[in-house]
Structure 1
Amino acid sequence: MTGADRPDRPNIVVVCLDTVRKDVYDRYATRLRELASIRFEGMRTLAGWSVPSHAGLLTGSIPSETGVHAHQRRFDPIDVEDTWIAPLERMGYESVCVTSNIYASPVFGFDRFFDRTVPVSPSRRLPAGMDVQRHISDRSTEGMEAYADFVRQALEHDHPLRSLANGVLLKLDDVSRKLPIEKPTDFGGRSIVRALEREVTEPDGPVLAFANLMDAHGPHTPFRGLDDSIHGVSADFHSSSFRDSDVNVADGLGDYAASVQRVRRLYAATVDYLDRLVADLVTALETGDDRESILIVTADHGENLGYESDGFLMNHMSSLSEGLLHVPFDVVTTGDGTLDLAVDGTGTHIGPDGQSTADDGADRPVDVNGLSSHADLGGVIQSLADEKPFDPFAFERERARAEIVGSGSGIPEGGDEAYWDRGQRVIYRGDRKYYRDQLGTEAVYDVSGPPSKQVERPDETVPDGLFESAFGDWVTDDEHDEGAFAEEVDAASRARLEDLGYL
Structure 2
Amino acid sequence: MTENRRPNIVVLCLDTVRKDVYDRFATRLRERAAVRFEGMRALGGWSVPSHAGMLTGTVPSETGVHAHQRRFDPIDPEDTWIAPLEGQGYESVCVTSNIYASPVFGFDRFFDRTVPISPSRRLPEGMDVQEHISDRSAEGVEAYADFVREALEHDHPLRSLANGVLLKLDDVSRKLPIEKPTDFGGRAIARTLEREVAEPDGPVVAFANVMDAHGPHTAFRGLDDSIHGVSADFHSSSFRDSDVNVVDGLGAYESDIERVRRLYAATVDYLDRVVTDLLDALAREDDRESILIVTADHGENLGYESDGYLMNHMSSLSEGLLHVPFDIVATDDSALELAVDDTTRPVDVDGLASHADLGDAVRSLAGEEPFDPFALERERARAEIVGSGSGIPEGGDESYWDRGQRVVYEDDRKYYRDQLGDEAVYDVSGPPSKQVELPDETVPDGLFESAFGDWITDEERDGRDHAEEVDAASRARLEDLGYL
Question: TM class by shorter-chain length?
Answer: over 0.9
- Residue number among 384, 389, 394 corresponding to 1:403 in the alignment: 384
Q: 1:390 is matched with which residue: 364, 371, 382?
A: 371
Distance between the aligned counterparts of 1:60 and 1:396, measured in 2?
A: 14
Structure 2: gaps of 5 or more residues: none
Matched residue type, 2:82: I
State the alpha-carbon separation in 1 of the partners of residues 39 and 87 from structure 2: 31
- Structure 2 equivalent of residue 296 of structure 1: 293
The C-alpha deviation readout for 1:272-318, integer Å capped at 9, x for no partner, is: 00000001111111111000011000000000000000000000000
User: How big is each residue's C-alpha offset from its partner over 1:397-455, in whole Å with a ceiling of 9 and x where there is no partner?
Assistant: 10000000111113110100000000000000010000000000000000000000000
Contact 2:213–2:267 (CA under 8 A) maintained in structure 1: yes
Equivalent residue for 1:284? 281
Alignment partner of 1:183 out of 161, 180, 183: 180
User: For residue 352 of structure 1, what is the aligned residue in structure 2?
Assistant: none
Q: Out of 24, 35, 55, which is 1:38 matched to?
A: 35
Cα distance, 1:466 vs. partner?
0.6
Of the three residues 221, 225, 245, the one matched with 1:248 is 245
In structure 1, C-alpha distance between the alignment counterparts of 2:141 and 2:198, rounded to whole Å: 42
The residue that corresponds to 1:444 in the other structure is 425
Corresponding letter in the other structure for 1:502 = Y
Q: Is the 8 A contact 2:352 2:379 kept in 1?
A: yes
Partner of 1:68: 65
Q: Please list the CA deviations of residues 5-32 of structure 1 after superposition, one character each: whole Å capped at 9, or x if unmatched.
A: 6111000001000000000000000000
2:431 is the counterpart of 1:434: no
Q: CA shift at 1:337, angstroms?
A: 5.0
In structure 2, the partner of 1:360 is none
Equivalent position to 1:233, from 230, 234, 237: 230
Asked if 2 retains the 8 angstrom alpha-carbon contact of 1:72 and 1:482, the reply is: no
1:156 and 2:153 equivalent?
yes
Deviation track 1:155-189 (CA, whole Å, cap 9, x = no partner) reads 00000000000000000000000000010000000
Deviations 1:302-351 (A, max 9, x none): 000000000000000000000000000000011375222222xxxx3xxx
Structure 1 residues 336 and 65, CA, compared in 2 at 3 Å: closer, same or farther? closer
Give the match for residue 435 of structure 2. Answer: 454
Q: What does residue 379 of structure 1 align with?
A: 360
Letter in 2 for 1:379: D
Query: The residue matched to 1:340 in structure 2 has which SS?
Result: coil
Distance 1:119 1:412 in 2: 30
Kindly indicate whether the alpha-carbon contact (under 8 Å) linking 1:297 and 1:328 is maintained by their aligned counterparts in 2.
yes
Structure 2 CA distance for partners of 1:178 and 1:211, relative to 1, 3 Å:
same
The DSSP-based 3-state class of the residue aligned with 1:483 is coil
Task: Give the superposition deviation at 1:483.
Answer: 2.4
The answer to whether 1:222 aligns with 2:219 is yes
Matches within 5 A, 1:337-352: 338-343=335-340, 348=341
Q: C-alpha displacement at 1:484, in angstroms?
A: 5.1
- Letter paired with 2:444: P
Determine which of 137, 142, 148 is the counterpart of 1:140: 137
Aligned to 1:109: 106
Secondary structure of 2:449's partner?
Answer: helix
The structural deviation recorded for 1:482 is 3.5
- Distance, in Å, in 1 between the alignment partners of 2:438 and 2:253 is 28
Deviations 1:73-125 (A, max 9, x none): 00000000000000000110000000000000000000110000010000000
- Determine the C-alpha separation between the residues in 1 that align with 2:9 and 2:456: 37
Q: How many residues align?
A: 483
Q: Does 1:324 align with 2:341?
A: no
**Structure 1: distance between partners of 2:144 and 2:457:** 43
Partner of 1:485: 466
Retained in 1: the 8 A contact 2:43–2:53? yes
In 2 relative to 1, CA 477–248 (structure 1 residues): closer, same or farther, beyond 3 Å?
farther
In the superposition, relative to structure 1, how do residues 460 and 474 fare at CA in structure 2: closer, same or farther (>3 Å)? farther
Distance 1:135 1:463, change over 3 A: same
**8 Å contact from structure 1 (residues 64, 474) kept in 2:** no
- Choose which of 394, 404, 407 in structure 2 pairs with 1:423: 404
Give 2:209's aligned residue.
Answer: 212
1:207-264 per-residue CA deviation (whole Å, 9 max, x = no partner) reads 0011000000000000000000000000000000000000000110000000000000
| Identical-residue share of aligned pairs (%) | 83
Equivalent pair of 1:401/1:426 in contact (CA under 8 Å): yes
Tell me the secondary structure at the aligned position of residue 118 of structure 1: strand
Aligned to 2:96: 99
Secondary structure of the residue that 2:152 maps to in structure 1? Answer: helix
Contact kept, 8 Å, 1:71 with 1:477, in 2: the verdict is no
- 2:13 matches 1:16: yes
Shift of 1:387: 3.0
Work out whether 1:199 is the aligned partner of 2:190.
Answer: no
* CA shift in 2, pair 1:54/1:242, >3 Å: same
Aligned partner of 2:395 in structure 1 is 414
Q: What is the alpha-carbon distance in structure 2 between the residues aligned to residue 285 and residue 96 of structure 1? A: 16
Shift of 1:143: 1.1
TM-score (norm 1): 0.94
Partners of 1:486 and 1:270 lie apart in 2 by: 28
Which residue is 2:478 aligned to? 497
TM-fit CA distance, 1:475: 4.3
Matching residue of 1:89: 86
Per the TM alignment, residue 142 of structure 1 is displaced from its structure 2 partner at its CA by: 1.2
Contact 1:425 1:435 in 2 (8 A): yes
2:448 matched to which residue of 1?
467
What corresponds to 1:77 in structure 2?
74
**Structure 1 counterpart of 2:265, from 259, 263, 268:** 268
**Are 2:310 and 1:313 equivalent residues in the alignment?**
yes
Q: State the partner residue of 1:53.
A: 50
Give how far 1:487 is off.
Answer: 2.1
Q: What's the CA shift for 1:390?
A: 1.3
